[in-house]
Amino acid sequence: MHKLLGGEKFNNLKNLLFVIALVYRASPPRIIISITKSVIERVFNVFFFIYLLQYIFECIENGTTFYHLFWILSMIIVVRALIGLMNIGYNYYISRNNPIVFRYIFGRIMNKSTEIELYKFEQPDFYNDYTLALDQSSWRAEEVTESMSYIISQFIGIAATVILIVSWDPTLIFFTIVPIINSYLVGLMRNKVQYEKDMSLLKDERIAAYSKRIFYEKKYAQEVRLFGIKDIFLKKQLDSYRAMRQNLKKHGIKLTILDIWNVLVMDTLLFLAVALYSTYQIVVNHNLSIAVYVSIMTAVNSVSWSFNGLIYEIAYFAQHGRYIENIKKFINYEMPVTTTVNSGLTPPFESLEMINVSFQYEGSNKAVLKNIDLKISKGEKIALVGYNGAGKTTLIKLLMQLYDAQQGSIFYNGVDIRQFDKDDYYSRFSAVFQDFQLYALSLQENILMDEAKLDKDRIKVLEALEKAGFEERLSKLDKGIDSVLTKEFDNDGVVLSGGEGQKIAVARAFAKSSEIIVMDEPSSALDPIAEYQLFQKLMEIANNKTVIFISHRLSTAKLADRIYMLEDGEIIEEGTHEELMGNHYKYSEMFTKQAEKYINYESAKDVI
């Protein structure tokens, strides 16, 4: 059973109703218009192809006038033309209405995705389902609406035709029951195979899509040329296409066999049986007129294929339900109770404290942080140092509540951080992470990151850029803070170097000016002088703010009031630079090694 976010078995009908309700909320008239259009079309077809056909034949048999038939046929042509116009109008309406429905559902999913815990995005199962929900949302809702309208109209059409058939000869009902049962069973099997086919392709489609991205996204272009990674991804893509081909073949054979069986029963055997029976009734029993005979052939054929279509559609409709499971679970996803105990607002910052905190990433069997105790008070400048993988970034992410610790507690002003409304809690932090992103937006938008503040805070943007050491580069930009970053959408877009990009991320944190500034290696791409200047500036503007920073260059850690040295998920040393140097332990060892390196290169003695 397909699951999302650890959910339970799904209920197709509820899922379908869920998506219909979404369509209704996005655009209330849409469902009524779709159903009305389908019913009018279907009822006209029954009336035209079966009832009117019989009527015209009877008129001819009874020797009616040409004038009478002329009026009947003219009326039919007018109604037919009106139905054609209705369809054109409907298609126009749909082309304008679909984007409204897509946008609404897409927006709901996007909004939800920002609330879901970060670790979920690192789980392949979740990611598969998330991708599926996004991909499907754009068209499933429309298909469900169309399917539902089609099913309702088919039911009405079949019922009307069956009434006509029974009125001619009740025995004929037998010829409609056989194809109904056949269609039902074949439809069930087809539906199952189709779903298995789609599911079997999912993983390989994602691998193929990822490999494709490697070859067209700019960020990979350089490494693809410099390293042999091209061949790895070409092979991965080839393997995934091979696997998809095999799955398509396996399921394709099953589907073809079912289709052949269907045509054999419905077109050949059934047609023969009805023709023989009706001919016998005319020739031997003289029970039927030619007019009814012609209509019977059309009506039985119409009921069989309509029912077959109905079963296909119901199967397809049910299939939508399975996919909608993903969309529904996603939109309805509730945060674990622990993170929503209280949605209280976060008061002005006084202190942050970790008590006996341990943390392990989902799917990992090793604790990344072990029994961490630390306290940070208002205004303190705190440095986290240690070798790669020691757990520094994870510690910061726990403090910010981007992840939840499995053991121990984290307190903000003495209150468990899980009791605060998350967005409000986040607003207390201005953070720069190692994996910061620049967006294909203007410089101003990249700094403010808030539609509401645009253009009102231009001075703030300029000040933040100046503090982050970007003013010289800014002076060379023709459009200043209105320059668009990256060439994604704009040939004149500005492409920044790694260090320049980092300065933008720092300026972003400065502009947000929250009470707690968090910097995770904000200077790794800066030269030592620029780094030192950045930290000097940071300490200056931080003033009475609290700063927590990670830096591999210990020359900057010297600026901190307190340094925590982490190793293998544990705090192994804590104190001021002088205290740690006096310990003659790991910190002083690391510092001395780095200092020697600088001195050997005679590049930054003054800095150290």
Residues at the contact surface with ligand ATP, assessed by CB under 6 A:
122, 361, 364, 368, 386, 388-394
In the complex, the smallest distance separating the C-beta of residue 401 from ligand ATP, rounded to whole angstroms, is 15
* Choice between 19 and 547, CB closer to ligand ATP: 547
Which pair of structure tokens corresponds to residue 272?
Answer: 């023969």
* 162 Cβ contact partners less than 8 Å away, ≥ 6 residues apart: 173, 176, 303
In the complex, the smallest distance separating the C-beta of residue 555 from ligand ATP, rounded to whole angstroms, is 16
* Choice between 128 and 295, CB closer to ligand ATP: 128
Angle of CA points 208, 211, 212, to nearest 5°: 85
* Choice between 120 and 230, CB closer to ligand ATP: 120
Handedness of CA 279, 280, 281, 285 (dihedral sign): positive
* Choice between 330 and 549, CB closer to ligand ATP: 549
Quick check: helix, strand or coil at residue 3? Answer: coil
In the complex, the smallest distance separating the C-beta of residue 415 from ligand ATP, rounded to whole angstroms, is 25
Q: Find out whether 176 and 303 touch, Cβ atoms under 8 Å.
A: yes
In the complex, the smallest distance separating the C-beta of residue 554 from ligand ATP, rounded to whole angstroms, is 13
* Choice between 135 and 567, CB closer to ligand ATP: 567
Tally of CB atoms within 10 A around 18: 18
In the complex, the smallest distance separating the C-beta of residue 369 from ligand ATP, rounded to whole angstroms, is 8
Which pair of structure tokens corresponds to residue 402?
Answer: 């981007």
Comparing C-alpha atoms, which of 560, 251, 571, 593 is closest to residue 392? 571
In the complex, the smallest distance separating the C-beta of residue 361 from ligand ATP, rounded to whole angstroms, is 3
* Choice between 122 and 450, CB closer to ligand ATP: 122
The CB-side HSE value for 508 (13 A sphere, CA atoms) comes to 24
* 602 Cβ contact partners less than 8 Å away, ≥ 6 residues apart: none
In the complex, the smallest distance separating the C-beta of residue 109 from ligand ATP, rounded to whole angstroms, is 22
* Choice between 365 and 600, CB closer to ligand ATP: 365
In the complex, the smallest distance separating the C-beta of residue 364 from ligand ATP, rounded to whole angstroms, is 5
- The string of DSSP letters for 377-406 reads ETT-EEEEEESTTSSHHHHHHHHTTSS--S
* Choice between 309 and 499, CB closer to ligand ATP: 499
Cα separation, 194 vs 210, in Å, equals 24
In the complex, the smallest distance separating the C-beta of residue 333 from ligand ATP, rounded to whole angstroms, is 20
Quick check: helix, strand or coil at residue 179? Answer: helix
* Choice between 390 and 519, CB closer to ligand ATP: 390
Question: What are the C-alpha distances in Å from 531 to residues 213, 523, 557?
Answer: 34, 6, 12
* Choice between 61 and 122, CB closer to ligand ATP: 122
The CB-side HSE value for 441 (13 A sphere, CA atoms) comes to 13
In the complex, the smallest distance separating the C-beta of residue 358 from ligand ATP, rounded to whole angstroms, is 13
Cα separation, 382 vs 372, in Å, equals 15
Comparing C-alpha atoms, which of 433, 439, 352 is closest to residue 393? 433
Q: Residue 557: left if φ>0, alpha if ψ -120 to 50, beta else—which one?
A: alpha
Comparing C-alpha atoms, which of 529, 533, 552 is closest to residue 604? 529
